A and B are shown apart, each in its own frame.
Chain A
Amino acid sequence: MKKIKYILYLLIFAFYLLPSHLSAQQQRFPKPEFESGYEQPSTVTPEPRALSLEYFDVLVLLAVLSLVTWLILKKRSRQGVLWVSIFTLIYFGFYRNGCICPIGAIQNVTLSFADPAYAISLTALLFFLFPLVFTLFFGRTFCAGACPLGAIQDLIIIKPISLPKWLNKTLGLIPYIYLSLAVLFAATGTDFIICRYDPFVGIFRMDAKFLMVVLGISFLLVGMFVARPYCRFFCPYSVLLSWMSRFSKRHLTITPSKCIQCKLCSNSCPFDAIDYPTDEKEVVKSGLGPKRFITYALLIPLWIAAGVFVGERSHTFLSKANNDVYLAELLISNPEIKNDPDNIDVQTFLASGKTMETLVEEAGGIRQKFYYGSMIAGGFIGLVIGVTLLNTVVFRKRQDYVPQKGNCLSCGRCMDYCPVEE
């Protein structure tokens, strides 16, 4: 008796389970059965760009890098570099629409470390690494002819003016700030600012928001007189490249054998990246010496502390760039906004069934990341300012005209001015 009852229960249970299971699959309006021999078309889903083509891009990058390096170090041909940069502009710029590029790949690498759910694709990693490896061995040949952003600016230099040294140094701090912010925003999963504010991608695509087109064109206009402004004063990748280049194994040389101090090259560099021979007397007169060096060295920890402080102060402001933090703040500070039917973000959040507590908790977690990240970024910028100042009082003896290894873009213009034969 008991057994029968048990089976009965089981049957009733199955009876309840079955229709509910079916109805989950059912449509409001079931698909009709056609009598006229109608053939249903299939949904068209065009394939994305083939993976093999992505690897082909890596090969092209490798080939261009090798070619430019050979042209700079062996062939010593500015003409050759010019033609390669035209190819780069056409291929990586206008054909590939400026995407994929090593500058933006910084963010992919950062995100792959910060977000366990994100794995970087091999092509992006290789695009990030190859230029750095080449620069570590041969100087910034990537900037000379393998970077589409550099190429478009290099080709429009008309009458470069020389900037005063202090301005060069000060503007040269911007890339460090840009890089710190880009890494901070990428690591917190907030935004990829390098790609978003890339001034030339709109020109490559011939399609962008109005403001971005204005930005791109103004960069090009300024670039006619201040050579390659983005490369020198904004590009976050240039920070990494200049580190590599400063200690590179080999580097472009102005003269093929021995400098004869003819000064012909002294005005040839549009980027103010040639160091002149030092005049020892002047150095002694200016009072640069160990005393000042020690003062500036002792100031470095203070700069770092100041940077950390500024970072700590600004983390709340910076974290508002994150959508979740912004939404949470908006809902807390302005609860009436819940009644605004035009605010899509708020309405979507309310409809999603997510509770306010979860949102606030998530936003708090992101803000915590910003708290530490901003302090690290601030400390880093402080360190950079301190070291830059220290560098201004370091005296290095030079007898010849030599390229500044860190800032030289290896474009090869100076080589054409050198009268020395091999």
Chain B
Amino acid sequence: MEKESKSKNRREFIQSGARLTLALALGSVSGLALSKVVKDDYVWQIDPFECTQCGRCATDCVMTPSAVKCVHAYDLCGYCDLCGGYFKPDANQLSTAAENQLCPTAAIERKFIEEPYFEYIINEDLCIGCAKCVEGCTSFGNGSLHLQIIHDICLNCNECSIARVCPSDAIKRVPASEAYNVKGDFSKKPES
């Protein structure tokens, strides 16, 4: 009887010792993590100046269609008639005919404002984030069209599946309070 209670005591001692060790381990992990914890949450966002318009945003997002959409920084737009983001390089005329459009889903709406200026509006529901227009606008125009992750669509995966395949590492975690890198407000970081 005495032997049994002895072994029981020993077992309990080991149990509580191990429990204390685990508690201390948990405490130190949380303490270490707390030393650099941030209250703000993270979201994923594209740095438009690092984006190379490779087209993977359209194919590698967990959402179909992608949570990456083209946004238009109107402040930077030249309102060109011959818009590099709207027309195919070999367009036969500057009209809204589908065969002239660069966008595979006709997500850009072209509207006449006054001679010789046209406004371009992105229809987010149609945009698939393929960056074809961004490429055109960046190489022939002002670069006012650029890709951004739209946060009411993005699921904010723990690791963004596009960021993993982004060839230029343009997709980064940003604080949720500054969730967008829209050109104009967001400018290229000076070379250090």
Minimal Cβ-Cβ distance residue in B for A33: B117
Chain A residues near B132: list those with CB within 8 A.
none
Q: Is A120 an interface residue (CB 8 A)?
A: yes
Q: How far is the CA of A108 from the CA of B16 in the complex (A)?
A: 29
Cα distance A165–B173 in the bound complex, in angstroms: 45
1/0 per residue, CB under 8 A from B, across A244-264: the answer is 101111000000000000000
Do A34 and B151 touch (CB < 8 A)?
no
Contact status B54-A136, CB under 8 Å = no
Contact B173 A118 (CB under 8 A): yes
| Chain A contact residues, CB within 8 Å of chain B | 27-32, 34-36, 38, 40-49, 51, 54, 97, 99-100, 104-105, 107-109, 112-113, 118-123, 125, 129, 132-133, 136, 191-192, 195-196, 205, 207-208, 243-244, 246-249, 323, 344-345, 347-349, 351-352
A309 vs chain B, min Cβ distance (A): 28
CA distance A208 to B155 in the complex (A): 13
C-alpha spacing A192/B159, complex, angstroms: 6
Q: Are B167 and A344 in contact (CB under 8 A)?
A: yes
In the assembled complex, which residues on chain B have CB atoms less than 8 Å from the CB atom of A125?
A: 30, 33-34, 37
Please, which residues of chain A bring their CB within 8 A of the CB of B64?
Answer: 207
Q: Which residue of chain B has the shortest Cβ distance to A48 in the bound complex?
A: B151
In the complex, what residue of chain A is closest to B30 when comparing beta carbons? A129
Q: Which of A46, A123, A323 has the most CB of B within 10 A?
A: A46
| Interchain nearest-CB distance for B110 vs A (Å) | 14
Q: Quick check: is B6 within 8 A (CB to CB) of the other chain?
A: no
Task: For residue B44, give the distance in angstroms from its CB to the closest CB of chain A.
Answer: 10
| Smallest CB gap from A35: residue in B | B114
A-side contacts of B23, CB under 8 Å: 136
Within the complex, the shortest CB–CB distance from A197 to chain B, in Å, comes to 12
Contact B142 A27 (CB under 8 A): yes
A132–B29 Cα distance when bound, in Å, is 12
Flag if B114 contacts A51 (CB, 8 Å).
Answer: no
B113's nearest neighbour on chain A, judged by CB, is A38
Measured in the bound complex, the distance between the Cα atoms of B119 and A31 in whole Å is 11
Interface band, chain B: 35 or more
Contact across chains for A28 and B74 when beta carbons are under 8 A apart: no
> Contacts A27-B76, A34-B113: A247 and B19 contacting too (C-beta < 8 A)?
yes
Closest to A348 in B: B167
Q: Within 8 Å CB of B189, what residues of A?
A: none
Number of A-B contacts defined by CB within 8 Å: 160
A-B residue pairs in contact (CB < 8 Å), sample of 21: A31-B77, A38-B117, A44-B124, A45-B151, A45-B182, A48-B156, A48-B176, A49-B151, A97-B155, A120-B38, A121-B41, A122-B39, A123-B41, A129-B26, A136-B19, A192-B158, A196-B159, A208-B62, A244-B22, A247-B15, A348-B54
8 new A-B contacts at CB < 8 Å, known A27-B142, A38-B114? A32-B78, A41-B74, A43-B71, A43-B182, A99-B155, A120-B36, A122-B38, A136-B23
From A43, A47, A121, A345, B37 is in contact (CB under 8 Å) with A121
Whether B142 lies near A28 (C-beta < 8 A) is yes
Cβ–Cβ < 8 Å partners of A28 in chain B: 78, 141-142
Across the A-B interface, give the 9 residue pairs with the lowest CB-CB distance, nearest first: A29-B78, A348-B167, A48-B151, A192-B159, A46-B152, A247-B18, A247-B19, A36-B114, A27-B142
Which residues of A sit under 8 angstroms from B39, Cβ to Cβ?
A: 51, 121-122
Q: Which residues in B have their C-beta under 8 angstroms from that of A208?
A: 62
Are the CB atoms of A31 and B75 closer together than 8 Å? yes
Closest partner residue, chain B, to A40 (CB atom)? B74
User: What is the bound-complex CA distance between A351 and B74, given in angstroms?
Assistant: 28
Contact with A along B18-49 (1 / 0, CB 8 A): 11001100100110111011111111000000
The reply to whether the CB of B1 lies closer than 8 angstroms to some CB of chain A is no
B55 shortest CB reach to chain A, Å: 8
Indicate which residue in A31, A36, A196 contacts B78 across the interface (CB closer than 8 Å): A31
